[in-house]
Amino acid sequence: MIWRLPVALKTTTITVALLAGAVPAAGPAAAAAVPAAPQAAAAPRTDVAAALRALEASFKGRIGAYAIDTATGKTIGYRAGERFPLLSTFKAVAAGAVLARTTDRELTRKVVHWTADEVKSNSPETGKHVKDGMTLAELCRAAIIYSDNTAGNMLLKRIGGPRGLTRYFRTLKDPVSRLDRWETDLNIWSPKERRDTTTPASAARDLRVLTTGGVLGAKDRSRLIGWLRDNTTGDARIRAGLPKTWIVGDKTGTGGTYGTANDIAVIWPARNAAPIIMAIYTNRRAADGATADSVVARTATLLARGLGRLS
């Protein structure tokens, strides 16, 4: 299959800060993913780092976060190079991959079918359409706005399975993210697991090129953004940590172990403003720990403050 490669993204003067406590993954590629900031640029963010460390301590877990202000080129990260489970955040990229290789006619007219045995848990839309199927566009929408697991698997089938999505990550110039399993097995994660993982920096950059870059045509980019904005699963996460007047499009992910809870988002502080991109990944230290939406929301607030968008 042939993917369209992203065009180079225009950046302004970039100030990148790896906050205290951030531990990039080993290897030159990972180190380059979150370059060290000039000393003077890092200073205003020390309060954010301290707040995130305190939040981790009270949460009894780990927080990974990365944000990009596309208006200024500024970025801020915390554990931005560490691996976290993708969970259902993969569905936003899978939808982008489907859009990249599908014509308008195929997207709206090609009907995909599946069997009752293929229906997974948390499949509110596909579970209703075993007999009549759904179009590719309807599957993309269901996968993003309802996090429908069977829809996610049907998108993966369209692009060559988990390996196909990993290949698509590489076309986005993401050497880190990988998908190895299908729904719902990919939600079983442990701290030593490398399968089905990403880093906050990689996830944010992928979302940036899909929603603001040239990897998708304007019509497909608008479709993807529309689905993200219509998401029904993220009200308590990134959206909850930002002013209600801000426009947010997001894709969540929730796992079955270690209290894993994620959210990636494209955010407009004002209707015509250049967007902010955020990726927040969290997990508990205990295998039976519960998810904590409020930790994701609080992290979003701190990132926006670190970028100077909130006082």
- Which are the catalytic amino acids? 88
Strand 276-284 relative to strand 61-69, pairing = antiparallel
Q: What amino acid is encoded at 52 in this protein?
A: L
How buried is residue 53: exposed, middle or buried, by Cβ count under 10 Å (0-12/13-18/19+)? middle
**106-139 per-residue burial string, b: 16 or more CB within 10 A, e: under 16:** ebeebebebeeeebbebbebbbebbeeebebbbb
Please tell me whether residue 239 adopts helix, strand or coil conformation.
Answer: helix
Rounded to an integer, what distance in angstroms lies between the CA atom of residue 1 and that of residue 93?
16
Rounded to an integer, what distance in angstroms lies between the CA atom of residue 187 and that of residue 113?
24
